[in-house]
Structures are given as C-alpha cells and as structure tokens.
Amino acid sequence: MIADIEQLVRCESPSDDLDAVARSAELVAALGTRLLGAEPERIVLAGRTHLRWRFGARARVLVLGHHDTVWPQGSLATHPFEVRDGVLRGPGCFDMKAGVVMAFHALAALPDPDGVTLLVTGDEELGSPSSRSLIEDEARGCAAALVLEASADGGALKTERKGVSLYEVAIEGRAAHAGLEPERGVSATIEAAYQVLAVAELGDAAAGTTVTPTRIEAGTTTNTVAAHGRFAVDVRVRSAAEQERVDKAMHALTPRLAEARIVVTGGPNRPPLAADASADLYARAVAVADRLGVGPLRQAAVGGASDGNFTAGVGTPTLDGLGAVGGGAHADHEHVRLDELPRRTALLRELVADLLREEQR
C-alpha cells in the first residue's frame, strides 16, 4: 500500500490542470486494474477524467473517492514524498490519495465485489462541477455510499457535514474624481462595506450557520470613486432549511446608496450531510470495528464539505471519513499514519462485505 500511495503522490494532480488530472487518472486506472482485475470506464466531462468500476448488474454499495488535489505543480520539490517514523508525507497523501489506495486494496480483498461501484473523480477540490450529476446518479438506489475522504481528528468518522453555498455580490456605482468632485460619484466601495456587514449578520451561531464574506475588490485607482466592486461569500449550514433561508436573504439584498445597483449570483453548492443520513451506517461500522478489533470508533461533525454531501442529498445513507488517519489536509504538515492503514482498510473491506450480505438476504 505504501508503494501504491507513493506512485499516486508522485504524480501531481492539481484540479485546475487538465493535463495533470488526465495523467493522474491513467495512473489510478492502471493501479485499479492491477488490483481489481478490471479496467475502469473513463468518463471525461468538461475535460476532466473520472473513473468508474462497476461490479455486477445492480449497484448496491457506492465507494467514492477523488484523485485531484489542491497542491500546484512543483509541490513535490518543497514537500517531497517520504516515510519516516511511522508517518507518510507528501502533497495530497491525506486528502486523499491514500484513501484511493485503501479502496482498491479493500475491494480487491473481497471474495466477490458483485454489487459494488467504485467511483474516483477528478474535480472534487473545485466543488465537483463536472462530476456532481455523475455522483448523484451513481448514488441513487444504492443502500449505502462510503466516502474515502480522510478521517477527522484522531481518526473519527465524519457523520455530519455542513452544506455549502457560494455567492458573489457585484456592485455597480459611478466613477468620479475623488479630489475634484467626489459628490458626483456613487461609491461601490462604500456600498460594498454596507453589504458586507449586512451579509455577515445572516449567520446564526445557535443553528450552526456561518455566513462569511471573503475575497473583496473595488475601484481602479486611488483618486477615483469606485464604480465597480465585488465580494465573495462562503455559507456553511447544518440544515436544508437554513440553506434556503440564507439563499433567500442573499438574493433579497438591496442597495443602501441611492443609484447603486447590486447583482447577486450563486447559490447552494452542496446540501448538508445530516447526522440522520449517517446514523445507521455508523452504528454498523462500530459493530464491524468491534468484531475486527480495530475499534473503538469515534464520530465527528465537520464544517468542510465533500462529495458525500451529494450522495446524502439524493437520499442515500452516507458514511464519510473512512479514508486515511493523519492530518494536515491542504497544509504543509499533511501526513498519514502508517499503523492505521491496514486497520482502516480492513474496516472498509468488512463494512462493504457486511452491506452486501445484508442486501443479499
């Protein structure tokens, strides 16, 4: 498994580099073919390569991962692959190339994978713009979706994920000379300030809703009243009702300055993965872990989103965070604990087998 992870990590695959993602897909396909004894379907959508292995006529368990990363080309020069003191390091190892390898090894160890679909996508880190429909279609009708994203802190499985909405608020004002006749202008900068404060007020800490203005820009020169401005907004919610409430409020924003104009674009990107979508699968995983002696398991609710949000959104029971144990996703200290690789791979194998037996009864 370490050798297989090394191969994938050394093949850099930043999501925004189509050629890099295509090269990575071919390496993942070759690795999967060797371990699973079957070639995947290569599904190219918007120039991005996704891989699908289907075993049997009817999909009952969807195993889900991705092979793209946030790390730009050349990251290996500053963050080289290494294994030392029981820890594996390298760009994308934790999120989530180790998880892809774990899926291959777990499924390869099944006596019969009939009923399993393995989907490895190539644009998750961008929000899955091309693969969302593919993921949702594969999940519909399945008894379970098992997501090989990395675990939460301490190896906890992710049983709840917030939903995500993304917006851009564009502001149109009117330019004027800031020294000679500023009163003739309509400042997009000032209007943006009003709107940033209004947007931030939409959060609700008690409901677990965060509404965060992020990147902002306005104006052209230091001596000109800004005619144009825009800012981005990141929304995280625990419930569909909160996602809808914030969406309505965002699209109802109105200007504070006379003659300013506001255009709001965007909306919900991922629905919440609610706790009830994971409860039964988590209980099953706990029982399997106890039987194997790889427990005890823990669970966690997290603010980050994954493709598991999509599978839960179409009504498929979903358990996330089944991948590597370690830490530092997207960060300089990204790493994977070697001692947990065989334990968590065994858990995945037996969880899939248990689900298949259940469906056969």
Rounded to a whole number of angstroms, the CA Rg of the chain reads 23
Cβ atoms of residues 14 and 92 within 8 Å:
no
Q: Is 80 exceeded by the pLDDT of residue 20?
A: yes
Which phi and psi (to 5°) does residue 118 adopt?
A: -110, 125
| pLDDT tens digit sequence for 87-118 | 999 999 999 999 999 999 999 999 999 999 99
* Ramachandran sector of residue 79 (left: φ over 0; alpha: ψ -120 to 50; beta: rest): beta
Q: Which pLDDT score is estimated for 117?
A: 98
| Averaged pLDDT, 39-45 | 97
Q: Is 80 exceeded by the pLDDT of residue 236?
A: yes
* Cα 99 to Cα 350: distance, rounded to the nearest angstrom: 16
Q: Which pLDDT score is estimated for 18?
A: 96
The residue extents of the domains of the chain are 2-161+273-360, 163-270
* Cα 178 to Cα 223: distance, rounded to the nearest angstrom: 5
* Cα 81 to Cα 334: distance, rounded to the nearest angstrom: 11
Fold topology of 163-270? Alpha-Beta Plaits (3.30.70)
Q: Is 80 exceeded by the pLDDT of residue 360?
A: no
| pLDDT tens digit sequence for 283-319 | 999 999 999 999 899 999 999 899 999 999 999 999 9
| Averaged pLDDT, 354-358 | 93
Of 6, 12, 124, 125, which one is the catalytic site residue? 124
Q: Which pLDDT score is estimated for 166?
A: 97
Q: 137 an active-site residue? A: no
Q: 68 an active-site residue? A: yes
pTM of the model: 0.91
**Total residue length of the chain:** 361
Q: What is the mean pLDDT of the chain?
A: 97
Buried b (16+ CB within 10 A) or exposed e, 292-313: eebeebebbbbebbbbbbbbbb
Choose among 347, 336, 326: nearest CA to 281.
347
142: DSSP letter: -
The domain defined by 2-161+273-360 carries CATH number 3.40.630.10: yes
What are the Cα distances from residue 110, in Å, to 35, 63, 206, 357?
Answer: 11, 13, 44, 12
Of 6, 68, 123, 149, which one is the catalytic site residue? 68
